[in-house]
Amino acid sequence: MSIKIQLDISKELNLELIRDGIESYIYRFIVEIKFVDFKNLRMRRAIFDTGSPITIIPYSLWKDENVTFLKHKNKSLFGFGKNILEGNLAKLRIVFADEKGLSPIREINAYLIKDDSIPLIIGMEDVFNNAKIVLNGRRQEYYMEF
């Protein structure tokens, strides 16, 4: 039996293009997640970024947690506006959620950064091989199926 987890969608004006007189929007897919092994089991809203292969977790979400890093060296991460972030890779367990249920537990590789300027981002690599992803704008269907 499969489990569908609904994605929310946010739509915001692209202010950079609006200044140039071009009406354009930025769409983001939002998913609820919970870190299985964290002391704080609160649900978190994350951007499901289909253009990012990696997951990024800001400092405030992991600073008080007991995390084991896979490497003991930070890596420079590019592609976040003008920011170059430094992150350390860890393996974590999460579940995706919506009002109807929870996904199976998923192990993900995530870069934990000591910065809160970037939101929680779930990268495509952590979902793509384990779920069917439906982003159907015509029918307004947005979900992951496990």
**Confidence grade of residue 21 (pLDDT, cut at 50, 70, 90):** very high
CA distances from 21 to 11, 16, 25, 45, 97 (A): 18, 9, 13, 32, 39
Amino acid 81: pLDDT: 67
Q: Give the rounded percent of residues in the chain with a pLDDT score beyond 70.
A: 98
Rounded distance between C-alpha atoms, residue 110 and residue 91, angstroms: 6
Please state the domain count of the chain: 1
pTM value is 0.87
Domain extent for 78 = 4-145
**Confidence grade of residue 30 (pLDDT, cut at 50, 70, 90):** very high
Is the pLDDT score of 3 beyond 70?
A: yes
What's the rounded mean pLDDT across residues 39-57?
92
The CATH code of the domain that includes 43 is: 2.40.70.10
Rounded distance between C-alpha atoms, residue 100 and residue 146, angstroms: 14
Amino acid 45: pLDDT: 97
Amino acid 14: pLDDT: 94
pLDDT tens digits along 95-146:
999 999 999 999 999 999 999 989 999 999 878 778 999 999 999 999 999 9
